[in-house]
Amino acid sequence: MSVNGKLLHNHHHFHGRHSFLQQENPWVKPTKVTAFSSPENCSNLPGLRLSNFQSHLGSGAISRLSLIGKCGPDNLPPEWPSDHASRPPKIQDEISFMTILKGANSFLPQVVLASTVLALICPPSFTWFTNRYYAPALGFLMFAVGVNSSEKDFLEAFSRPAAIVAGYIGQFVVKPLLGYLFGTVSMTILGLPTSLAAGIMLTSCVSGAQLSNYATFLTDPQMAPLSIVMTSISTATAVFVTPFLSLLLIGKKLPVDVKGMVSNILQIVVTPIATGLLLNRFFPKICNAIRPFLPPLSVFVTALCVGAPLAINVESVMSPSGISVLLLVIAFHLSAFIAGFSFTGVLFRDSPDVKALQRTLSYETGMQSSLLALALANRFFQDPLVSIPPAISTVIMSLMGFSLVMLWARRKETAAV
């Protein structure tokens, strides 16, 4: 049927509405409606208004509801009830709710800071979240990354070997050098015990942190697979590299459980991401249903991962030597973040996505598995002071990393505007 036919058909519906207004509503003045055969004529109707009428022509038909809403009488008194004006659309409420859920990640730095303060003031709030919950929690964060990624993303990540090598160098060359530097400063300049210096060096020798993958996902989602690949490789080779570096820097050979570390990688990284990818590929409707709820849950899980280690080790952190170590750990991580960002800018200055690469490798260099260092310190060192730097590093690394997430995300939004 032609467009004119459609319009004339709806015109009869409009006369029905007009008659209804005349019969039951004495406030409405009778209006003579001129027949029209095109939408342009609607604008000439006395007492009628037409707004955004052309937007309804895209579907090829104009509904009765569209004509009533768009070409309704202007001479209605204030007493006349208007449902579409007084009640906001339900769909809009749902969209606003979903927007709030999806935007939960923007509150992550504040939540992390709040969890840190709460852990210091009321440690029992987090002490229940012991080490046995940490692996499943990180696994959930990796599952969230997998749901929002595809196999193609990971294949493209392996096509960038130069970036992978650069991340590996930042993880096991640049960071151990910084750890040795600040460990030496703690002994020679600040006069701290050798065990605290050993804790700082040990912290610098472990593999990358899975939280760096999540931080990258929040800032540059397209770089998350590359970050995951870099962290997985550093974690897989840490079974050989970490003992070697600890022997080189500290002078103590650390026997590392190879089987345990491989199992750790499978539980925390490989299985959750593979599950998310498969779910995204074969059950997209399920993914679309759960995806809006992942950001707030991820924020909650991250807060637990930050607050629990601090609450469990609060006595060591608040010890007299803890404040000095705190300053050294802050300087160590700050230097690592800056080094990763700066070196990447020099090495990949001609790359079209150099800024995203800089942020990704900055996270990879500045954030490491401090919990692994803490476990090694508790297991292989008799002096409890060795565990203080890794415990502090767990909190500082998370706070600084997610503060950068907030900073860089805002800069990207400003640049986009």
DSSP 13-57: HHHHHHHHHHHH-TTSPP-PPPP-SSHHHHTTSTTB---SGGGGG
Inform me whether the pLDDT recorded for 223 exceeds 80. yes
Q: What CA–CA distance (Å, rounded) separates 303 from 297?
A: 10
Per-residue pLDDT, 106: 63
Q: Is the dihedral of CA 126, 129, 134, 136 positive or negative?
A: negative
Distances from the Cα of 181 to the Cαs of 68, 292, 412, in angstroms? 75, 44, 34
Q: Angle at Cα 113 formed by Cα 202 and Cα 147, nearest 5°?
A: 80
Q: What CA–CA distance (Å, rounded) separates 42 from 73?
A: 12
Per-residue pLDDT, 410: 81
Inform me whether the pLDDT recorded for 11 exceeds 80. no
Task: Write out the two tokens for 42.
Answer: 């609607």
Inform me whether the pLDDT recorded for 81 exceeds 60. no
Q: What CA–CA distance (Å, rounded) separates 345 from 348?
A: 6
Distances from the Cα of 39 to the Cαs of 3, 69, 178, 345, in angstroms? 10, 14, 72, 57
Task: Write out the two tokens for 368.
Answer: 């490491």
Per-residue pLDDT, 180: 93
Per-residue pLDDT, 24: 45
Q: Do the beta carbons of residue 176 and residue 195 sit within 8 Å? A: no
Q: What CA–CA distance (Å, rounded) separates 120 from 196?
A: 21
Give the count of beta carbons closer than 10 Å to the beta carbon of residue 20. Answer: 11
Percent of the chain with pLDDT over 90: 16
> pLDDT tens digits for 64-78?
334 334 444 444 454
Q: What CA–CA distance (Å, rounded) separates 243 from 257?
A: 11
Q: What CA–CA distance (Å, rounded) separates 6 from 36?
A: 11
Inform me whether the pLDDT recorded for 25 exceeds 50. no
Q: Which residues of 159-187 are buried (b: 16+ CB within 10 A; e: fewer)?
A: ebeebbebbbbbbbebbbebbbbbbebbe
Whose tokens are 């604008």? That residue is 43
Per-residue pLDDT, 339: 95
| Helical (H) or strand (E) element with 150 | none
Q: Do the beta carbons of residue 239 and residue 372 sit within 8 Å? A: no
Which residue in 372, 218, 228 sits closest to 298, CA to CA? Answer: 218
Inform me whether the pLDDT recorded for 274 exceeds 50. yes
Higher-pLDDT residue of 338, 143: 338
> pLDDT tens digits for 174-207?
999 999 999 999 889 888 888 899 899 999 988 8
Mean pLDDT of 355-368: 93
Q: Is the dihedral of CA 161, 178, 403, 397 positive or negative?
A: positive
Full-prediction pTM beyond 0.75? no
Per-residue pLDDT, 309: 75
Q: Do the beta carbons of residue 260 and residue 252 sit within 8 Å? A: no
